[in-house]
Structure 1
Amino acid sequence: MNKENREVVRPDGTTIHYTVTGPADGPVMALVHGWGCDRRDFDAITGFLPRHLRVLAVDLAEHGDSRSTRDVWTMEEFARDVAAVLEAESVGSCVVIGHSLGGAVAVETGRLLPGVVTRIVALDALHYLSLFPAQDECAADALLHPFREDFAGAMRGMVEAGSPPGTDPALVDAYIEKMSAVRQPAGLSALEGLVSWDMDAALRETTQPIVVFAVRAIITQEAIDRYGDRVRIETIELGSHHFHVESPEATAALLAAEMSA
């Protein structure tokens, strides 16, 4: 399948890099990676998707190849990164799919572009109650303090918490290494932006259907009870928090089904 690397320039010294795959007139799927990750996480998935789809895989600011000197690291500003790509590609209709932090960005993209985004798909996102609903100052400080004191150590704890028993240790180590290398200050600032994001308000104002594919061994009943009436939650057993990397063919099948829903 043809793949092109492109870029779009935004304000505040921001250049967003993205990959385009598939025919120009195909239904559009926009893929948004998680915190500390990049668009290459979706390379294998793209190879298993139906050939008629047009796939845009985006590197958010200061992730992957994208660069920025901006001071604002909110979910709303990341959504503007995605919106800039959609505008550059003259997209009139699309499904936005986001992993982890990218799920929050997908919701904000839908809120920003209600006439363009038709559906939102979250890959093991939106259900972590210590990350996604806006945290009060005390809870936010408790979560962020370890990252401010020992970033690599806290990063290891985060990745391990998202790795159920049986997860390949080599994959865990690879993600610890990759995510620990996220560029600063954007990395920590993006986490701060996530824990202060008001997901409840965002969900109230989002009109598009939202589906969450959640790892069964990780999601809690409390999260299902809290959000099950606002989003469609599908529990899966395809691997760890990074299941889209571990099980690209099965993940592609889930996404293809959502594109035809």
Structure 2
Amino acid sequence: MTAGFRAAAPREVQRGGDTTIRYTASGPADGPALVLIHGWACHRGDFDAVTRHLPEDCRVLAVDLAEHGESRSTRAVWTMEEFARDVMAVLEAESVGSAVVAGHSMGGAVAVEVGRMLPEKVSRVVALDALHYLALFPAQEEARAEKVLRVFREDFPRAVRSLVEGGTPQGTDPALTEVYTAKMSRVRQPAGLRSLEGLVRWDMDAALRETTQPITVFAIRDLTSQEAIDRYRGRFDVVLVDLGTHHFPVESPEATAKLLAEAATR
């Protein structure tokens, strides 16, 4: 797939009086819609190179979730459902009738919630190295969730580094760990910690029971356990890939675009 020029127009939509969601729109307004949702402590810019490799007839909407990237919010609720409403506001503003919704990491959880709440509008959910981590899902008992969150409350940068290292296969250039750790440690607070709390407490199994669309998970082979594949076999389709670290959309944009284009046409 050859990279081409796509004029990405910056746009925004207001949600009530406390949240402004900023996003970019590119491609023909009447083209098949693909919504891209970044991961925790990241931003829509992670998909810039991916977007350039997508088919020219595709309508691409790349969203900054609240308090990530250029979006701003003073709201008090930081659940996956509330993030999904950020995305739903963009779909409404763009008058999208049907869309494939793809999310990286935490964005995969948000994508599931968008699909759950908009069954008539979302045709497929795609998760980019998301949903298969058994350390997070299914829903954790409160004591275990608190143990995870306590580490972030006590030493946020150290906890972020540990998170990044956990998503990095052996043999990866150590410089990448430094880049991602520095980037994610700068997430706006208190929303950064609060949204992590929302992810840890998200009941994925309950959400999946109410999500009717097909779900495709593109998972890094070295980070995916057979236990996870077996547990969710039949609920979502796990496709193992060798494209880098947990942040493979940034590292392998052309290959990621090919995966998204193929998933969108299934």
TM value normalised by structure 2: 0.97
**How far off its partner does 1:145 sit?**
1.1
The superposition leaves residues 118-153 of structure 1 with CA deviations (integer Å, 9 ceiling, x where unpaired) of 000000000111223211111101111110100000
The superposition leaves residues 195-248 of structure 1 with CA deviations (integer Å, 9 ceiling, x where unpaired) of 111100111110000000000000111111111221000011000000111100
Give distance in 2, aligned partners of 1:208 and 1:85.
Answer: 20
Paired-residue identity, %: 67
**How far off its partner does 1:12 sit?**
4.6
Letter in 2 for 1:125: A
Who is 2:135 aligned against?
130
Give distance in 2, aligned partners of 1:53 and 1:142.
Answer: 43
Distance 1:140 1:224, change over 3 A: same
Give distance in 2, aligned partners of 1:57 and 1:123.
Answer: 14
Give matches, 1:231-250, under 5 Å.
231-250=236-255
Q: What is the DSSP-based 3-state SS (H/G/I as helix, E as strand, rest coil) of the residue aligned with 1:217?
A: helix
Q: What is the DSSP-based 3-state SS (H/G/I as helix, E as strand, rest coil) of the residue aligned with 1:241?
A: coil
- Aligned to 1:214, which of 208, 211, 219? 219
Give matches, 1:1-261, under 5 Å.
1-261=6-266
Letter in 2 for 1:205: E
Q: What is the DSSP-based 3-state SS (H/G/I as helix, E as strand, rest coil) of the residue aligned with 1:132?
A: coil
Who is 2:3 aligned against?
none
Letter in 2 for 1:164: P
RMSD, aligned CA: 0.8
Q: What is the DSSP-based 3-state SS (H/G/I as helix, E as strand, rest coil) of the residue aligned with 2:73?
A: coil
Give distance in 2, aligned partners of 1:211 and 1:217.
Answer: 18
> Structure 1: 5+ residue runs without aligned partners?
none
Superposed structure 1 runs of 4+ greater than 6 Å apart: none
Aligned residues: 261
